[in-house]
Amino acid sequence: MPRETTKVPDESSALAVARRARQEQIDFDIEFFDHVLARAPHHAEVLRIQGELLSRRGLTARAVLVDRRLVEICPADAQARYNLACSLALEGHSADALAELGRAIKLGYADRVHLEHDPDLQSLHALPEYKRFVAALAEERS
């Protein structure tokens, strides 16, 4: 009688299972925070978390709406403005993204290294205004 063998999943299928589990968790979290925001639509920290989750899941149009709500509630929050700039850049709204990025920097956003390497802002890297922001932050550091 032939011996039964247990098939060991290869690494790629294990990674796919892990990726799917992460996506399911993010989907669960998004739904959970949707319910929280239905009861507390102006809760800044929940909006901040929800914007990040939506962006990670690739739901950038929804992330823009959430980030705009957060900026309305916290207009002087540099990080909220930066996050809105990222969401706008991901949606292809370069001019609006640059405007928000400029506001974030005026409000104190100063992490030049993150700004240069943030994949959310990739669509802005070739634009002169973006390069001016990076140069200005580099000058501040020197």
Assign 2 a pLDDT band (cuts: 50, 70, 90).
low
Delineate the domains of the chain, giving CATH numbers in brackets.
13-141 (1.25.40.10)
pTM score of the predicted model? 0.86
pLDDT value, residue 9: 56
> Which tens digits make up the pLDDT trace of 4-56?
555 555 667 888 899 899 999 999 999 999 999 999 999 999 999 999 999 99
Can you tell me the distance from the alpha carbon of 58 to that of 44, in angstroms, rounded to the nearest whole number?
Answer: 21
Nearest Cα to 101, choosing from 55, 133, 125, 136?
A: 133
Can you tell me the distance from the alpha carbon of 132 to that of 129, in angstroms, rounded to the nearest whole number?
Answer: 5
pLDDT value, residue 96: 98
pLDDT value, residue 30: 97
> Which tens digits make up the pLDDT trace of 53-101?
999 999 999 999 999 999 999 999 999 999 999 999 999 999 999 999 9
pLDDT value, residue 13: 87
